[in-house]
Chain A
Amino acid sequence: MTRQAITIRGLTKAFGRNAVLRGVDLDLPAGQVTVLMGANGAGKSTLVKVLCGVHRADAGQVLLDDKPFAPEGPAQALRSGVVTVHQNINDGVVPGLDVASNLLLDSLAEGGSLFLNVRRMREDARRIAAAVGLEVDVTRPVAGLPLADRQLVAIARAMAHKPRLLILDEPTSSLSMAEAQRLFTLIDRLRAEGVAILYISHRMSDIRRLADRIISMRDGQVSGIFDSAPLDYSGAVRVMLGHEITEVDITIPPPGPVMLQATGLQLKPEARPFDLSLRANEVVAITGLVGSGKSALASVLFGLEAPVAGSLTLNGTPYLPANPAQAVAAGVFLAAKDRLINAVIPAFDIQSNLSLPFTKNHSGPLGLIRRTTERAAATRSIEAMGVVCQGPRDGILTLSGGNQQKVVVGRWMSQASRLLILDEPFQGVDIQARRDIGRRIRDSATNRATLVLCAEIDEALEVADRILVMSEHTMVGDHRNEAIDLGRLMAQVAGSVEDRMDIPA
């Protein structure tokens, strides 16, 4: 029987009325890498934050080496041996200080003598750096180091605390392959030293390389534990995404002419190029795990980033937008994900939020806004989307999340487009709003191509005529939404299908 470094029983945590963790039971054995998977909102980050002392659990018990563990704050968690490397690397280092000071930061913060013994500091720092295979001049400022070295500095600093549990949150998301390999070697060594490692990632290549066990989370609970070799990767993904298939009647309309054609599109230097064609009248969903390249594709189509290689045509003419303004002018609209960051103008009312990209269409000479036409358009959008509100002049933040989402989606449906991209349009909305938005997307799809990006497969099944699967920044599957082979689709999402198919037009 393996010794458990951490034992979690019945852990719950709620923010207001929103229960995020609903009785989590989890064991993390020493000397093993446990991969934690879960879709957005499954409760992964909250679980991590409870373990590393940022949040306190409402109920439940955590045992660290069989002793109760309820840290008062991050500093105490660190001292007890729970070390966390956050996704945002700069949370773990002080960029303005040199490597030596960063490595010794915790002992510096604890005090000691008034003056610093620089020579001894550097010696200590070199010893700590060597322990994790970090080969840099310790007098260099951290700000000048590559991302991977900065991450190693954060880990090395943590190592000084003789960790019992190391938590890594999406550590490879900004690393190159070679840098990731170096990290994996370090993880292997720590595993051999008996450290329990909780590794949060959606990258199947990382997971295959490292995982001893996989835990899937869904809706604030552990939904699956996979710990017998060989590991069932597709099973883990399936459990994470859930598969209660909702009954939705999709009648696939006859597709129109090709609206957007991408040829040899390459989203990352190491990613395989792919072709993509989207036709008028059809609603295409792209599904795939977080970081599979869905948003990167949207960024290219909307002029936020240039592709590594490849060409695009829109309605038969070459299309390469340099910025969102050009994309909008060409009739390519993007309803971005994370509405509060990317879409909502908090100071504005519903009406002004709806008309924001199209103020030109609502203004007369001298750019004076015609409030009557603007208001009429807003009223139409509110009705079409079924936004529950008092009227178009309500502040956007007075609405519920689902209604805010209807406004930001409705914004891009208020004018005719050639290609409408909706990135996670069902993010953080209740089931009724999700149905409303989905129906509206389908009802208005005539004469434009519609691309819906969603990580949740049931959302894709509810809304799309055709479902594409992305993995590792390329297309790996294409399914007509009729009697779909879900097992095969899930396997493609997990990246375990090796038939490198080309996407038919």
Chain B
Amino acid sequence: MKTFSPTEFAIRYGFLLLMAGLIVVFSVLKPAFMSPQSAVFILQSVAITGILALGVTATLVVDGFDLSIGAVATSSLMLSAYVMVIWEMGAVAAVVLCLVMGAVVGLINGLLIVKMKVPDLLATLGMMFLLVGLQRIPTEGNSISTGMVLSDGTNATGSFSEGFLMLGRHRIDFILPDLVPLSVVFLVLIAVLVWGFLELTRHGRVMYAIGSNAQAARLAGINVAGYRVLAYMISGVLASVGGILLSARLGRGDVASGNNLLLDAVAAALIGFAVLGAAKPNAFGTAIGALFVGILLQGLTMLNAPYYTQDFIKGAVLVVALVFTFALSGRAGRGRG
């Protein structure tokens, strides 16, 4: 048997232990923290960023990066509102158009990177700017809601369909009546699917190979460009799902929402590197990373920490997680190499 190494143990379980410790501390200080309602609140608060983070994880796996996810999500928010309020179409059309939009943006990102050889950060940064601007053009910079004044002087008569709003607001019975919001169900479902795809299928395996040594993957007969594009499409589609859920929660096309989505999602995915000493992007770690941030913020809020300290705390957690991943793992000889 291998001898016990404290460094190895810290790398593997340090982050999970830290999370368990946080839960214990918060529960002791505020017994209400351990209630099912509190748990559900945490999950709901991280549902959308978690879904976006799982998409970023797919691009990180092929050694890429998608900075456009936040903009895709807010575009999806505006598009769904526009489809229902201005075009007066139903929930299904809104959802389908948003998903298609996400897939197309992912496809364009992928082609920019693979065919036009634009570096991933720059391509998706450009796409981010483009979308942030584009989503405001149809409404001349205004938010979208029922009754808004259109450019021809009339009022918009369409409204968010009940079915669509359910996606963001409906709660299903689980232990307690009306406990679990649908968005949390989506998060769990998507997390399991992305995890299964990356860890259990040959496609996920091949994507990890590309991320580790793209040249060797190509010489093994793998369609590297195709899988890269696929990763950005996964990221785009998941970001649009996040936008749909945000739209359904808000019930209006709010131009000011979703500012923090990109940074929160990226932070969750990067924190995920440190979970179980993976030292690589992974779906389980990403989910835990999102949860970790949610737990920390909920606990601090219950302890009356002011809201403006939140970003600072998230940043501090991210830095600590990155030290776990790169410094400690590197010393133990299991860096990303």
Contact = CB atoms under 8 A, between A and B. Distances in A.
Interface of A: 302, 323-325, 327-329, 334, 336, 341-348, 352, 356-357, 359-360, 362-363, 366-369, 395, 397, 411
Given A347-B280, A359-B205, A324 B216 contact: no
B201 A324 contact: no
Contacts of A342: 215-216, 219
23 contacts: A323-B223, A324-B218, A325-B221, A327-B221, A329-B221, A336-B216, A341-B213, A341-B215, A341-B216, A342-B215, A343-B216, A343-B219, A345-B217, A346-B337, A347-B336, A347-B337, A356-B206, A356-B220, A359-B205, A362-B202, A363-B202, A368-B201, A369-B202
B292 interface: no
A177 to B, nearest CB: 30
B223 A348 contact: no
A29 B26 CA distance: 79
Among A334, A344, A347, A368, find the residue whose CB has the most chain B CB atoms closer than 10 A: A347
Nearest to B218: A324
B216 A368 contact: no
Among B201, B216, B280, find the residue whose CB has the most chain A CB atoms closer than 10 A: B216
B213 A344 contact: yes
B125 interface: no
B179 to A, nearest CB: 32
A498 to B, nearest CB: 36
Contacts of B222: 324-325, 356-357
B37 to A, nearest CB: 37
Contacts, number: 78
B256 interface: no
Contacts of A357: 220-222
B46 to A, nearest CB: 28
A369 B199 CA distance: 9
Given A363-B202, A368-B201, A369-B205, A348 B212 contact: yes
A347 B212 contact: yes
B218 to A, nearest CB: 6
Nearest to B212: A347
Nearest to A333: B221
Interface size class of B (residues with CB under 8 A): 20 to 34
B221 A347 contact: no
Contacts of A367: 201-203
A328 B201 contact: no
B211 interface: yes
A144 to B, nearest CB: 18
Given A325-B222, A345-B217, A359 B202 contact: yes
B209 interface: yes
B1 interface: no
B221 A348 contact: no
A334 B205 CA distance: 21
Given A342-B215, A363-B201, A367-B202, 8 more contacts: A336-B219, A341-B213, A344-B216, A356-B205, A359-B202, A362-B202, A367-B201, A368-B202
A356 B201 contact: no
Given A346-B337, A359-B202, A368-B201, A324 B211 contact: no
Among B212, B213, B217, find the residue whose CB has the most chain A CB atoms closer than 10 A: B213
A325 B203 CA distance: 15
Nearest to B210: A345
Among B212, B213, B220, B334, find the residue whose CB has the most chain A CB atoms closer than 10 A: B220
Nearest to B222: A325
Interface in B133-167: none
B208 interface: yes
B208 A348 contact: yes
Contacts of A360: 202
Given A336-B219, A342-B219, A356-B217, A368 B200 contact: yes
A356 B223 contact: no
Nearest to A329: B221
Contacts of B221: 324-325, 327-329, 357
Contacts of A345: 208-209, 212-213, 216-217
Contacts of B205: 352, 356, 359, 369
Interface in B194-242: 200-203, 205-206, 208-209, 211-213, 215-223
B327 to A, nearest CB: 18
Q: Closest 9 CB pairs between A and B?
A: A328-B221, A359-B202, A347-B212, A367-B201, A357-B220, A346-B337, A363-B202, A325-B221, A324-B221
Contact of A325 (B212, B215, B223): B223
Nearest to A367: B201
A398 to B, nearest CB: 9
Interface string B272-287: 0000000010000000
A348 B204 CA distance: 13
Contacts of B215: 341-342
Contacts of A328: 220-221
Interface string B99-113: 000000000000000
A325 B209 CA distance: 15
